[in-house]
Structure 1
Amino acid sequence: MEGFGVLNWTILIVYLIGNLIMGWVLSRKVESAEDYYIGRKTIPWWAIGLSVLATYVSAMSFLGGPAWSYGSGLGVMMIQINYPLVVFLVITFFLPFFYNSGVASIYEYQERRFGKKARAVMSLIFMATQTLSSAAVLYATALVLSFITGVDVNVAIVVITVIALVYTLMGGISAVIWTDVVQAVILVIGAVVIFYFLLDRLPQSLVSTLEDLKAQGKLNILDFSFDPTVEATVWSGVIAMVLYHTTVYGANQMVVQRALAAKNIGDAKKSFLLMGFAAFFIYFLFLLLGVLFYSYYDGRAFENSNTIVLQFAADCALPGLVGVITAAVIAASLSSMDSALNSLATVTSLDFYEKYFKKGAPTSHYLKASRWFTVGWAILIILPAMLFAQTEGSVLQLLTKVGSYFVGAKLSMYALGFFSRHTSERGLLIGVVAGFVAVWIAATQTDIAWPWYCAIAAIVNVPISIGASLLLDGRQSELSPYTIKGQKQMYRDHGLAAKEDGWYRIPGKVDPISWLLVVFFFATMVFLYLLTVFI
């Protein structure tokens, strides 16, 4: 794209400078490693919620979402339909364990429940998956800069990394969250602006356009097929992807670390509730844009489908629009990059450096070490980002596929920790290996679609872990306090308050408002059904 223009450059530069200024201002509140990891627990719940939302509704969604539905139709919405159910499970089972423990690394739970090896394995899985996902985000952002400026994608990758690194180094988790708030607002504004101008430029009315798209098979949303080789069906969305996304949001340091910065358990849960109710609308908007672009461009092939949104902004030729959209995409990406860098540094410092290499050092030392780890991870992420630059498909689809190889192991390790009395560390690790083998076989020897990989790993992992545990270590006579039953027993025996300001502290207890998530989920399913019936 040529002629980015002074106005567009001004919008983009002002936005980037604003991020750096915010990081500098917040850096004055970072005096210890704990401040860098989880702040001072003064951040309001809505800011944390917007940060969670912005982190995963990233440039992969802003660019990759429309690219995905442009090629596959609105049926891919089934992959994203499950967030209300996911948040229901996360705030009921995961958050209470992590928040009540007072830890900064959620993988410390694995050590308390099973042992040091389990914690190390979970931390390493997180590092591997987060590096790959961050690389995909980085590539998506670099693609924007390359598209609008003509700069080589690899050069753009380095530039974006440096920008995210600088303000993350200065402000820690507080800078991450507050810059994410701004980025979330810009992201939504950018999507709404594109949607408005797209509607205005469609050759037919929206209803007529949707009717044509339905005739072309682009609005086949609810596929009730039980065929496991089909990627987006009702069953893959409601069963397989619930398991997948529960792990992504409940057992992911990058996401949960924000909730640990909340003032209390109620604020931590409310921040996730915001995601549970808002995600449907945002993902539906992104995917709807994709099928509308298909109509607008008459299904033409793009050299790289991830640039469709940018191409449309350029085609509109409205002064400043490309600058706003570019800022929105970069905002979305930075909100994921800064979170990843901070969480990777936190896990590296707490789960490995402080535990095995430098015990008992002053907090100022760990703060300095964490910042150096942040720099190291920024450098490491660049290489896979350059490899992602070789793909032309949807980055959102690509990343979700990559993540599906690992989430089954994470889900099983936490599910067994929560609900299984007799699982031991040795049995657990045997099950993890078996789960990885099962996923590898499914991916290489069958046509089973990737959304089911998490479920396959869990189905194999859980019984093998329990069986191996009983065989190697026998039945456990004592109930671990880090199981759901153990937590309930501990609260009863010690006379602890079950609630704090009206919110349950005990894992497994459902807050009344959480049931609204279930109602909302069924309401969205009805909406999608009516959409396909009456168009």
Structure 2
Amino acid sequence: MDGRYLAIYIYPFSVLFYETLFMSTADWAVLLLTLLSIVAYGIYKSRGIKNIDGYLLGNRSLPWYHVGLSVMATQASAITFLSAPGLAYSSGMSFVQFYFGLPLAMIVLCITFIPIFHRLKVFTAYEFLEKRFDVKTRGLTALLFLIQRGISTGITIFAPALIISTILHIDLTLTTLVIGSFVVIYTTYGGTKAVSHTQLLQMSIIFGSLLIAGMLVIHLLPADIGLSKALHIAGKSGKTNALDFTFDLNNNYTLWTGLIGGFFLQLSYFGTDQSQVGRYLTGSSIKESRMGLIMNGLLKIPMQFAILLIGILVFTYYQYHQPPIFFNQVEVQKLKESPYAASYQELEQKHTQLFQQRESLVNGLGTALDQDDQENIEFSRTALHQLNAQMQQVKDSTLTLIKKNNPAAETNDNNYVFLSFVTKAFPKGLIGLLIAVIFLASMGSTASAINSLASTTTIDIYKRFINRNATEKQDLLWSRIFTLIWGIFTVVIALYANKLGNLLEAVNILGSLFYGTILGIFIVAFYMKKIQGKAVFIAAILSEIFVVGIWYLDKIPFLWLNLIGCLAVMIIAYFIQLSLRNNSAVPNTSNTQQNNLEK
């Protein structure tokens, strides 16, 4: 190889080695030991895979607690631990309402979806649709899933790449490629069996780390500020707004949006998204799968509440320690080196002055809370809102400068809030543990997603349309090939994910564009027995166009798209079927199969 090209390949890795010195030896020891232990355990548990039943569904042999933790690990991606605290820091606790429909969705799934999927012994949820309707409906639904899940998985790969890139000051593209390649290789080798077993350990480490992180944030607050007082201080700034009972179509996060829109989103995600269906199909029986989903329904909201609570505590921490104007220090550094440096310096000085005023006010609020002085508490609350508004104006002016300096810059810094806090405030060793947690979450959710993409491509495309008589050896080989192909695709998507703003919202918006339509197809399949394949196929296409159109107009919160898409499929399919009355004399064999299943 020519020496010049060799230098091109070696230089980025020499930079990587140099920049890693910014983390302590203890941090790297914790990070590497945690990751290597997880990978080694997964490889050990996945040895001896001989067919696609073992590769895609782990031989359907897992107990309920294993199923439950695997389901939770698949949903709790690195985005959850990266974006949620930042979202709470900037907007408060209202995002927790997003999950209020989850327990209800778990009940419906346990009653309807799980028994049918188990009795049919399907590999994917979409196999059922061909038995109920026809092959084109199965193919369309599988295609909608592949598009949605393929793109969203790229976002989940990007999230930890963003963390490592920011901490170590390494090029984001290089970091994305390194992390993506690591996950793809691991998933291609191990399949579902490795994914499920490693997720059991991952969630145990994640739960323990969250507890440590929460306790440490409280410890870092001033000596006289405990948990209760910290929440009171955050509350006076409007950050503890966990419940919103208003029926406001302009608000993404209210009780009703979470219960209704969230219910349909969660029902579609857990009932029709193969990344989750594949998790509970690994259960050894209907009972084990049901108990696993119930476990998820009971633990998910408290877990998400705890993550958001950490973000609230970080907000309180920054009432006593000056936060940066903008948490993405990469863009700030570019601004300091630009022609706008003098303007930024003026804004920084104003920001410092406002913070000092706010710090004095917060100290006064703490005294008023101790004395239960309602008059001073109310005065402090009003003054805090005014000061926070002024600090926001300074930030907005900074964002304007950032945009002038770099029109392509991302001006949403929610994803950097928790990351910035951890690297500056946590002791050595714990930084490595928190980064390991984010890595583990990324590994679990990304591996499940890529595995589900490969499962759907293998079962619903390859075995159905390309090679229906493939041997077990061929099936296993192509499952691994499709895993690799989808892994490469998701890495490519990850390279462009930095333009999507808050990653947590981006993933949920993307899901809402497709999940309603997919759920509508399954609802028709289960409950509207007189509707046949042609009607639901046309209805699904029209509904998806309708949902995308509404989203483009940006008139209502995205969570409602799940309800709209589902209802649109049901209503349109009903009226199309009425217009096809000439087919009513033809026996509906698919309905007979459905009736036999229910019996």
TM beyond 0.5: yes
> 8 Å contact 2:38–2:198 — kept in the other structure?
yes
1:195-206 paired onto structure 2 within 5 Å: 195-203=214-222, 204-206=225-227
The match for 1:239 is 260
Matching residue within 323, 348, 351 for 2:432: 323
Rounded Cα–Cα distance in structure 2 between residues aligned with 1:166 and 1:18: 16
Cα 1:476–1:213 shift into 2, 3 Å: farther
Rounded to whole Å, the distance in 2 between the matches of 1:109 and 1:38 is: 16
Check if 1:414 corresponds to 2:435: no
2:285 to 243, 260, 264: 264
User: In the aligned structure 1, how far is the partner of 2:180 from the partner of 2:41?
Assistant: 17
Task: Give the C-alpha shift of residue 338 in structure 1.
Answer: 0.8
Which stretch shows the higher mean deviation, 268-277 or 20-29? 20-29
* Per-residue CA distance 1:465-522 (angstroms, 9 max, x = gap): 111022125447757666998257x52xxxxxxxxxxxxxxxxxxxxxxxxxxxxxxx
1:355 is matched with: 464
Whole-angstrom distance in 2 between the partners of 1:416 and 1:446:
28
How far has the Cα of 1:433 moved from its partner?
A: 2.0
Offset from partner CA, 1:426-484 (integer Å, 9 cap, x none): 11122112212322232223521111111111222211111102212544775766699
1:165 pairs with one of 184, 193, 197: 184
1:423 and 1:466 in contact (8 A); partners too: yes
SS at match of 1:421: coil
**How far apart are the structure 1 equivalents of 2:46 and 2:239?**
48
CA contact (8 A) 1:310 1:322 kept: no
Whichever residue aligns with residue 260 of structure 1, its letter is L
Query: Are the equivalent residues in 2 in contact too, given 1:82–1:237 (CA < 8 A)?
Result: yes
Aligned to 1:129: 148
> Deviation per CA, 1:167-190, whole angstroms, max 9, x where unpaired?
222221110101111111122122
What one-letter code is carried by the residue in structure 2 that aligns with 1:208? K
Q: How far did residue 36 of structure 1 move?
A: 0.6
Secondary structure (helix, strand or coil) at the match of 1:95 reads: helix
CA RMSD of aligned residues (A): 2.0
Preserved contact between residue 228 and residue 449 of structure 1 (Cα < 8 Å) = yes
- Asked if structure 1 preserves the Cα contact closer than 8 Å seen for 2:520 and 2:568, the reply is no
Give the deviation of 1:394 after TM superposition: 2.2
C-alpha distance in 2, partners of 1:441/1:340? Answer: 27
Query: How far is 1:17 from its partner?
Result: 2.0
Cα separation, 2, equivalents of 1:64 and 1:424: 42
AA paired with 1:88? I
146-155 or 107-116, larger mean C-alpha shift: 146-155
Match of 1:297, SS?
A: helix
Counterpart of 1:524 in structure 2 is none
Q: What is aligned with 1:100?
A: 119
Once the two structures are overlaid, the 10-residue window that deviates more, 87-96 or 199-208, is 199-208
Structure 1 pair 420–93 and aligned structure 2 pair: CA distance change class (3 A): same
Structure 2 residue ranges without an equivalent (≥5): 1-18, 329-412
Quick one: distance in 2 between partners of 1:487 and 1:205?
A: 60
Aligned partner (choices 81, 84, 89) of residue 65 of structure 1: 84
- 1:32-111 residue pairs with structure 2 within 5 A? 32-111=51-130
Provide the residue aligned with 2:415 in structure 1: 306
In the alignment, which residue of structure 2 is the partner of 1:223? 244
SS at match of 1:389: helix
User: Structure 1: which amino acid aligns with 2:156?
Assistant: V
Distance in 2 (CA, whole Å) between partners of 1:211 and 1:16 is 38
Matching residue within 321, 326, 332 for 2:441: 332
Counterpart for residue 396 of structure 1? 504
Partner amino acid for 1:282?
Answer: M
- CA change 1:483–1:166 in 2 (3 A) is farther
Q: Distance in 2 between matches of 1:350 and 1:327?
A: 34
Shift of 1:347: 0.8
Residue aligned with 2:499, SS: coil
Q: Which one has a larger percent helix, Structure 1 or Structure 2?
A: 2
Q: Helix, strand or coil: the match of 1:458?
A: helix
Q: Deviations over 1:309-368 (max 9, x none)?
A: 232222234120011001000000100111111111111111111111112121011101
The alpha carbon displacement at 1:305 in A equals 2.2
Tell whether the 8 Å contact from 2:77 to 2:446 is kept in structure 1 after alignment. Answer: no
Q: Which amino acid aligns with 2:327?
A: F
CA distance in 2 between counterparts of 1:444 and 1:17 reads: 44
Correspondence list, 1:360-439, <5 A: 360-391=469-500, 393-439=501-547
Q: Structure 1 252/482 Cα, relative in aligned 2: closer, same or farther at 3 Å?
A: farther
The answer for the alignment partner of 2:27 in structure 1 is 8
Q: Is the 8 A contact 2:100 2:255 kept in 1?
A: no
SS of residue matched to 2:247: coil
| Structure 2 contact 131–590 (Cα < 8 Å) conserved | no
CA contact (8 A) 1:421 1:483 kept: no
Structure 1 counterpart of 2:233, one-letter code: D
In 2, Cα distance between equivalents of 1:63 and 1:395: 9
- Aligned-partner SS, 1:43: coil
Partner of residue 310, structure 2? 289
Give unmatched runs, 5+ long, in structure 1: 492-535
Aligned match of 1:209: 230
Does the 8 Å CA contact 1:176/1:338 hold for their aligned counterparts? yes
Partners of 2:567 and 2:460 in 1: CA distance:
28
Letter in 2 for 1:259: Y
Q: Are the counterparts in 1 of residues 39 and 198 from structure 2 also a CA contact under 8 Å? A: no
Distance 1:21 1:230, change over 3 A: same
1:189 aligns to what SS in structure 2? helix
Cα distance in 2, alignment partners of residues 324 and 466 from structure 1: 53
Structure 1 CA distance for aligned equivalents of residues 169 and 417 of structure 2? 16
Residue 117 of structure 1 pairs with residue 136 of structure 2: yes
Aligned length: 489
Question: Counterpart of 1:449?
Answer: 557
**2:580 partner SS:** helix
Change (3 A) 1:193 1:480: farther
- Residue aligned with 2:125, SS: coil
**1:156 aligned to 2:175?**
yes
Rg (Cα) greater in structure: 2
Q: Is the 8 A contact 1:420 1:483 kept in 2?
A: no
Q: Which amino acid aligns with 2:162?
A: L
Q: In the TM superposition, what is the alpha-carbon distance from 1:29 to its structure 2 partner?
A: 2.3
Alignment partners' CA distance in 2, 1:64 and 1:18 = 26
| Mapped contact 1:417–1:483 kept (Cα < 8 A) | no
